[in-house]
Structure 1
Amino acid sequence: MSEGPPIEQRLADFAAHAGELAGDRAGDAEAFCERLFRAFGWDDLRHAGASFAPRNTAAPARLGWRSSFLLELWPRGTRLDRRRHQAFEHWQYHTHHPQFVALCNFDELVLHDFAAQFTEPLDTLAVAALPRDHAALTFLLREPRAPRFRNDRVALTREAADHLATVFNLLVVRGVDRDVAQRFTLRCVAEQLAAGLDLAHADGIGLSAPPGPLELTAEERGYLARAAEADWSRVQLPVFGALFQSGMDRERRHALGAHFTSEADIQRIVLPTLVRPWRERIEAAATREQSLALHAELAQVRVLDPACGSGNFLYVAYRELLRLELELLLQIDAASESGPLIRPRVSVRNFFGLDKDPFAVELARLTLLLGQVTARHDLGVSPDPLAVRRDDLRDNLRVADALFTDWPAADVILGNPPFQAKNKMQREFGPEYLRRLRDAYPDVSGRADYCVYWFRRAHDHLPPDGRAGLVGTNTIRQNESRDSGLGPIARSGTITEAVAAEVWSGDAAVNVSIVNWIKRPDLPGKKFLAWQTGDAAHSPWHTVVVDRIGPSLSPDTDVSAARPLRSNLAAARCYQGQTTGHEGFLLPSAEASALRAHASHDAAVLFPYLGGDDLLGRKDGAPSRCVIDFGERDLSAAEAFAGPFARVADTVLPDRRRAAAEEQRRNADLQRTRPGARINRHHAGFLDRWWRLSWRRGEMLEALAPLHRFIACVRVTRRPIFEFVSAQIRPSDALVVFALDDDYSFGVLQSAAHWQWFTARCSTLKRDFRYTSSTVWDAFPWPQAPSVAQVHQVAAAARDLRALRSAALLEHDCSRRELYRRLDGPLRDAHERLDRAVDAAYGLRGDPLRFLFDLNLELTERERSGEAIVGPGLAALAPDDELRATCTSTDCIAPA
């Protein structure tokens, strides 16, 4: 489109045309959208890349544009405020979460950003006024400009939180006691919010004041004055507490850039766990008597957040429960010819929380106490004459470690328990806490993530038909975490809705799963399962409707019940590579060569060392470093290798002494508080043998000794690329190692069938898949009766794939990682030929996961009855030397 008239003139023409549309005829909505995009500089919808779907009886007309904008068009005269929840649910379950969602009735356009601001729109625009008021829509321009909104409550909340958090930080820096500073700033928050809500004073909030007045500096008074200038009636309570607390973090200092849990994510729990079940019951009530009975029950619903933090989940749950009550009262009033007016009875007294952080609990009390005013204000309800005041919430919101205290009775449990990976729990909590935890929860595996304890405790605490919704690490659906948490929940309850993987809004570096369930087994009806692909906050979303959600939170066949096969365990072919425990054991290849040149016998303890970045990132895939491995030699024998020994003594020994001393100090502290408690000797053991690798993997080396090559794959990966590696090379713990050297075995492991089993059974690190021998390998069923011809076909396809891959690496002068990012036609075709050959060896038809799962169950049963089955590798299938010779080539990654 040419430059043409200015946008103001184009929007004036658009507004005039829109005013002539009836708003409910066929074609009106598409004409509106076409003219709107022309006004913003596009030739037409097709040119803009927009898609349009006309209105039907159940849905409005919808226009989608890129991943940025969704426009819903309703007939003229439609109350758009009553369509917000419907639009949100469509955005949440049926789209890739465009940033902006607009609802329009031809006269008015209401613009939302559901991921940031749920209760109110960012802006409300009269179509007739768009020539003047279009700053909120400038992202639609062909050359987009940053939009400006008139009701950005999140931005306002950030600024208000930051001013008060800065006052706190200034007080602490100049020496004011942290507790006094906390109470002072919290009191300031209460006063500002009370003023914004037109409350007479903040005394009824029940917060303790600091002991005596504080003399403030000019800078502190300045930040308080700036905070007072904010429109506190528009501060978002679900967001404020988290931002305020983040701003008081000594490391960050500011709330302006802090992450917070968006209300869209909170609604992923509140909506399916609390709102939707009650709305369905309200809509099903056929008589006034039934509605009155529901109202009495609704007023008694008890909601618990056992890790309440600043109270954002509780506030949203309270507001939504109040909204439901108002809908129910309108229904009762409509069915009544006379009778007394029923008043709202939902109260914050029915909301409970636990948290270890005393300040967080104070914030949660403040959030709920003020929430009973703001929620009623937002919903247009008169103030509650029986509003909770002063110390009424002292028993509702308590300071406690939820895993070691009694929980209040609850019909609904929701929240975001603390995240802590199992591998870091001992360092974070200490051995004594872990001992208490495992004594208190013997049914939870010691290898499960911390949040699993909360899932189990919540499920056990629920009454029959009680509901829960919790956020967990995305590993709760994997391995021991799944078996200890979601497995029991799925057996005695029903998972009604789940997000398998999501980049959590509360922290951009955390990937989570969200699970909603009811404590009733086999509840019929449709279930929603969603997941996000990619690591960015705006990565694409996918949603499917299924009849059942299993503990793996996967739309694929649930293989979590597969069991280890004795034949796989006995074969002992799968290992994790060597864990050095200290970088001092590693040295560049050139430095190792210099040591060998100086003393040739040093070669006996210097080995090429292959890491994951070497295998995938280097063009030749060869090792770039060597490892010093003294094996099982004692100290005096190790000292004979003077150069390597001196390096390890200089680099490793000091750190192991420090680690052992710190461990001894922690043990002494533990013995003082709990005489006789079990102490840790982890680092003391490493110090006793400081010149040796932490985990040398002697069993692995023994298994590799008779082979000239072995199969390796990076242990944490997005797509497994298997390679043969020379047995002269030591694999690092970044690799999973298979003590197999034949092409047939390589072909099975590199196949799509094994890949699907891998992804369904493995654990993850963020979004990357992690190969685990205990779940992936031990339960993987191998082909049981392939013909000799089929074995040859798999081996040949494997050789062809590696040959083509090697040629492509040379042709493109790239690494394996780069090669597989583009996966061009010939290489893709080679993988498909290998997959067909492996499928034929299995006799695989239909869903590969279902086939492999059924085969696993069959083989498990046959082993239980004493029958021998075919285990891993060619030797287990056909021990004759002739077949092995024809299916074993020699290519491999060799030392550089």
Structure 2
Amino acid sequence: MTDNRLLDLVDDRDFRVLFVEELGWNNPDRPDLTVEVDDETFTLQQVAGYKGLRIWHCPVLPPRKIQRQIDVLVGQDNQERLVIFTNEQRQEWRWPRRAQLGSANAKLLVHQHIVGDRSTHLTGRLQAIELDFDEDLSLVALLDKMRDAFDHEAETASVAAARLMGALYTELETCGVGEHDATLLLARLLFLLFGDDADMWKPQGLFEKYLREHTTAETLHSDLLGLFEVLDTEEKNRTLTSDSPYDPFRYINGGLFRDSLRLPPLNTGFRDALIEACEFDWSIISPAVFGSMFQTVKSKESRRRGGEHYTTEENILKTIRPLFLNEYRDKLERSWDDKAQLTKLHNELGRLRFLDPACGCGNFLVVAYRELRALELDILKRRRDLDMTDVASKKVKRAQLSLDVSGDIKVTLDHFYGIEIEEWPARIAETAMLLVDHLANQQMAVEFGVAPDRLPIVIAPKVIHGNALREDWRAVLPPSENVFILGNPPFIGERWRAKELSDELKSIWGQRMNAQFDYVTAWYKKTVDYFGETPGSWAFVSTSSIVQGEPVAPLFSYIQENGWRIKFAYKNFPWSSETLDHASVHCVIIGFTKNKVENRMLFAYTGGRSYSESYCKSINAYLIDGPEVLVTKRSKPIASGLTQLRKGSYPTDGGFLTIGPEEIDQFLEDPVTKKYVRRFVGSRELLNGQQRWCLWLKEYDPVDASRSELLRARLEGVRISRLASSKVATQKKAQTPHLFDEDRQPDTPYLAIPVHSSSARKFLPCEYFSPEVICYAANFIAPDPEGFLFGIISSSMFITWMRTVGGRIKSDLRLSNTLTYNTFPLPSVKAEEKARIIEAGRGIISTRGNYPGWSLAKMYDPSGMPEDLTEAHRTLDSEIDSLFGKGDFSTETGRQTILFHHYAKLTGQDDLL
């Protein structure tokens, strides 16, 4: 089946063959349907169907107002439908518009096809709903496929739009336009381009007509400035002649065109690029990507890549759906047949307020507004349908169809608030909100024939240009139980944070400041303080570091003390920012409430775009279905029988005491340095079998420096590097350059455990070394003459605890002796149990011997771990697991629950169980 074959059938209006024979749908199951609108009769034929979704063909093409009324009458007993209106030259396809497609733009839902057009998006939509011969999709799955086709169409258009914006920005740079003026100009042009294509004014394409007929490259800069002045002037205050090219333009208001703009003369390339942009259909672009688009075009590297990198709406929907949208969608379903409850729900929507205190270009606000307007529209449609059901008269039905409900809108722009530290994103946020409002009104027009006229702009969102950490949020929006706070505040770790930002963070947290807090935690503190005793709901996208390691307890203790509990959470998942030059990070999304919630939702990333979903009675700070305990550092192991861990030795030598593979020969050939060479093991050497050496000079004879130029040069290098340190203690160590700065080397055999290990490994690898092997501080060390500690560290229970409460670097696990090891809630161990654990550990070491030359990393590669080694670890796990009693040891989630219960008991927090 070719694309042309599909479109040939469309053009021939042979819809039954198209849908039944080519796309695999079922034969029609309904007779022809006759409806009457404004005393005119229309007959529709069902051409195909699938599980209640029926396709109807009307062989005439009435005005859209009549189409809308016909569509509603068809929907009286056929809720899911696709209605196609046609004549010999043109067709209009009215696609299903339930909640699954509620966020799509009106132009995606009412698709116009010109007979003979082979560049249409219609092919992609038809291919998306093609069914295999033996396929048995549910109706919801079919609608999801249709939605995905629309999303792909919009995303493809967004890429093209980004390229156009990139071309405009490049020309502005060539013309010497500064960044502030360029972004302000592009924001205004975006509004006009969108307005041209989205029926914001009449005639359509008014701005394009003005550009083509009344501007030149030489005068374009002054022409645009003149237009902007007119757009910011009320019609009654204008002094224009009737033949002025500015006369047809309406007053915009809203401040978008108010501020002064400095434009030098613009070149031919800019005018050509702007006219090319006019030829593009901007009305199918989601305003939620405008901010990403602007951020993309400001990067030269991004522009060279074609503007293909921007943040989709997927992660925003992950936040707003469980925060509030799912709840209100559920209420709509429960109220579906009850007009009083529908009215109550509608009024409730009108009381909601939303604040994004780090709104950037407004994506969260845009998507939240769009989805709530779609929900509101569904309420209005359902009330209309119930009214029609109650009244039998066709005359009344027709009156109801043309009812003006624009005055019934309760979800309005002035219910949405933002705070943004940079000026131009704040402006883009305001613009995007205005445009998404227009799209929502267009959807209303599709359903009811009328929509509110928003020009001049009177109702607008309130986006504050300011520093959210210094602004008084209560002055922006007073707190109430109807307020939702949401967004993606900036996250910057301590290592990368400028002093100014660190000082801001300290000013927010005061005495409760923790050195490991990420910058994003300031928004958590501000939100808790904002609500005070007032219940509400809030959710942020954050770096996953806030639920890992040391910061967890001090952050969540403050949240919990103020009565907040986790309502939903997305566990650790990869998140890439909108710009190419920003590193990918791992994030979580956490939503909070003070209200009682029976089933809290926990989502876990499973790869690609997939997540598993589970319902929990409680979700703790580590995003686990378990008691709300907080794990704090301890100076000694909580479990009896565990020896203390300490880090290996640290040279602080500027690299002069360590020896790489390319250097070792010269040190072994030198008779003086040869006697001081020792194997040096860090985490890379431990895990990957790499070779490195060091000079171990505890038995150093000062005379040897005069006998070896190599040794003398190395010691001088150490001395100079230590003197250059900013730390006084390190400077003092320059007096003894032959010694490691921190010497913790044991004089007996020891167990070495890497500080960092891949989170993908099933077990934490560790290994024994003799005291002649010097261990670096990238490993923890401990004496383990019997092998008991080896067994504990090598178990599934230990790596589960480490993965759950320990810190991370990106996704890699990080072992801490005070936070992870000392808090491991190992139950008491009897002598016979200990003996079995030691024996099982020896079995693992013995099995490793089957693979000579293999590194630990290779042996413990999760995709290729030898089965006999896996079995040896299973034997060990059975011994360790038995210490913890009953429970679900088959999954990591089950192990986590068991571990938290034991930790609560060992720390006297039984009341949380």
The answer to whether TM tops 0.5 is: yes
Change (3 A) 1:849 1:514: closer
Task: Describe the SS at the equivalent of 1:420.
Answer: coil
Do structure 1's residue 761 and structure 2's residue 805 form an aligned pair? yes
Tell me, yes or no, if structure 1 residue 833 matches structure 2 residue 870: no
Contact (CA 8 Å) 2:636, 2:818: kept in 1 or not? no
Determine if contact 1:501/1:512 at 8 Å carries over to the other structure: yes
Give 3-state SS (helix, strand or coil) of 1:309's partner. Answer: coil
Alpha-carbon distance, 1:603 to partner:
5.0
Q: Alpha carbons of 1:845 and 1:255: their partners in 2 closer, same or farther (altered >3 Å)?
A: closer
Structure-2 residue corresponding to 1:401 = 467
Tell whether 2:524 aligns with 1:451.
Answer: no
In structure 2, the CA distance between the partners of 1:116 and 1:180, relative to structure 1 (3 Å rule), is: farther
Aligned AA for 2:507?
Answer: D
Matching residue within 784, 807, 824 for 2:866: 824
Deviations 1:392-428 (A, max 9, x none): 65xx212222122211225010111112123322xxx
Which residue of structure 1 aligns with residue 789 of structure 2?
A: 745
The residue correspondences of 1:79-478 to structure 2 (distance < 5 A) are 119=104, 133=123, 137=127, 152-172=153-173, 175-200=176-201, 203=232, 204=252, 205-208=254-257, 211-254=261-304, 256-281=306-331, 292=343, 294-330=345-381, 343-380=408-445, 382-385=450-453, 389=457, 396-407=462-473, 408-409=476-477, 410=479, 411-425=483-497, 429-430=498-499, 432-442=500-510, 443-462=512-531, 464-478=534-548
Cα distance between partner residues in 2 of 1:688 and 1:176 = 55
Q: Does 1:516 align with 2:591?
A: yes
Counterpart-to-counterpart distance in 2, 1:435 and 1:651: 35
Change (3 A) 1:559 1:331: same
Can you list the C-alpha shifts for 1:749-776, whole angstroms capped at 9, x where unaligned? 1112222222222223333322222321
- The AA in structure 2 aligned to 1:437 is L
CA contact (8 A) 2:355 2:418 kept: yes
Asked whether 1:646 is paired with 2:713, we answer yes
Structure 2, unpaired ranges of 5+: 10-15, 31-48, 57-79, 85-92, 134-147, 202-206, 208-230, 233-251, 391-399, 890-894
After superposition, residues 660-699 of structure 1 pair within 5 angstroms as 698=742
Deviation at 1:795, TM superposition (A): 1.5
In structure 1, how many angstroms separate the alpha carbons of the residues matched to 2:557 and 2:604? Answer: 19
CA distance in 2 between counterparts of 1:469 and 1:786 reads 46
Counterpart of 2:615 in structure 1 is 545
**Contact kept in structure 1, 2:765 and 2:860, CA below 8 Å:** no
Conserved? CA contact 2:651–2:741, under 8 Å: no
C-alpha spacing 1:510/1:693, structure 2 compared with 1 (3 Å): farther
The whole-number CA distance in structure 1 between the counterparts of 2:456 and 2:732 is 62
For residues 631 and 123 of structure 1, the distance between their equivalents in structure 2, rounded to whole angstroms, comes to 82
Larger Rg: 2
Per the alignment, in what secondary structure is the counterpart of residue 469 of structure 2? helix
**Counterpart of 1:74?**
51
**For 2:782 and 2:362, how far apart are their aligned partners in 1?**
50
Q: Does 1:790 align with 2:833?
A: yes
Aligned residue type for 1:717: S
State the match for 1:871 in structure 2. Answer: none
Q: 1:176 to 1:756 in 2, by over 3 A?
A: same
Q: CA deviation at 1:187?
A: 2.6
**1:503 alignment counterpart:** 574
Task: Return the alpha-carbon distance in structure 2 between the equivalents of residues 230 and 370 of structure 1.
Answer: 17
* Secondary structure of 1:446 counterpart: coil
CA contact (8 A) 1:295 1:325 kept: yes
Q: Secondary structure at the match of 1:402?
A: coil
Alignment coverage as a number of residue pairs: 739
Letter in 2 for 1:222: D
Match of 1:600 among 672, 680, 683: 672
Tell me, yes or no, if the aligned pair for 1:713 and 1:723 is still in contact at 8 Å: no
In structure 1, C-alpha distance between the alignment counterparts of 2:704 and 2:780, rounded to whole Å: 30
Q: Deviations over 1:695-717 (max 9, x none)?
A: 9673xx43x42322323235232
Partners of 1:173 and 1:17 lie apart in 2 by 52
User: Hey, what's the Cα distance between the residues in 2 that align with 1:199 and 1:17?
Assistant: 39
Q: Secondary structure at the match of 2:614?
A: strand
Q: Is the Cα–Cα contact under 8 Å of residues 165 and 185 in structure 1 kept in the other structure?
A: no
- Give the corresponding residue for 2:847: 804
Q: Say if 1:564 and 1:775, in contact at 8 Å, map to a contact too.
A: yes
Give me the whole-angstrom Cα distance separating, in 1, the residues matched to 2:437 and 2:787: 69
Moved more, 167-176 or 767-776: 167-176
Q: 2:687 aligns with which of 592, 608, 616?
A: 616
Q: 1:173 to 1:688 in 2, by over 3 A?
A: farther
Matched, 1:591 2:634: no
- TM-score, structure 1 as length reference: 0.71
Equivalent-residue separation in structure 2 for 1:813 and 1:451 (angstroms): 39
Given that 1:259 and 1:506 are in contact with CA atoms closer than 8 Å, whether structure 2 keeps it comes out as no
Alignment deviations for residues 114-170 of structure 1 (CA, whole Å, 9 cap, x no partner): 9999626799899xx99x94797499999xxxx998972222222222322333244
Whole-Å Cα distance in 2 between the matches of residues 117 and 635 of structure 1? Answer: 81
Contact 1:162 1:254 in 2 (8 A): no
Q: 1:244 to 1:729 in 2, by over 3 A?
A: same
1:438/1:446 contact within 8 Å kept: no
What's the CA shift string for 1:419-467, capped at 9, x where partnerless?
Answer: 2123322xxx22x431342132133422122222212322332363311
C-alpha contact 1:707 1:741 (8 A) present in aligned 2: no
Change (3 A) 1:207 1:19: closer
Distance 2:440 2:703 in 1: 75
The whole-number CA distance in structure 1 between the counterparts of 2:459 and 2:5 is 57
Are 2:358 and 2:468, in contact at CA under 8 Å, matched by a contact in 1? yes
SS in 2 for 1:530: strand
Q: Is the 8 A contact 2:718 2:737 kept in 1?
A: no
Residue 490 of structure 1 and its aligned partner are, at CA, apart by 5.0
The answer as to whether partners of 1:747 and 1:794 remain within 8 angstroms in 2 is: yes
Q: Please say if residues 82 and 95 of structure 2, whose CA atoms lie closer than 8 Å, have aligned partners that are also in contact.
A: no
| Aligned counterparts of 2:177 and 2:719: Cα–Cα separation in 1 | 43
Matches of 1:478 and 1:845, distance apart in 2:
25
* Alpha-carbon distance change, 123 to 551 in structure 1, aligned in 2, over 3 angstroms: farther
The separation in 1 between residues aligned to 2:198 and 2:908, in whole angstroms, is: 68
Matched, 1:625 2:602: no
Q: CA deviation at 1:310?
A: 0.7
Q: Aligned-pair distance for 1:801?
A: 1.0
Q: Which piece of structure 1 moves more, 834-843 or 453-462?
A: 834-843
SS in 2 for 1:191: helix
Q: 1:500 & 1:314 partners in 2: Cα distance?
A: 23
Amino acid paired to 2:430? R
User: Following the alignment from structure 1 to structure 2, what is the Cα–Cα distance between the partners of residues 125 and 340?
Assistant: 25
Q: Equivalents in 2 of 1:610, 1:122: separation in Å?
A: 64
1:830 Cα deviation (Å)?
0.9
Over the aligned positions, Cα root-mean-square deviation in angstroms equals 4.9
TM-score using structure 2 length: 0.70
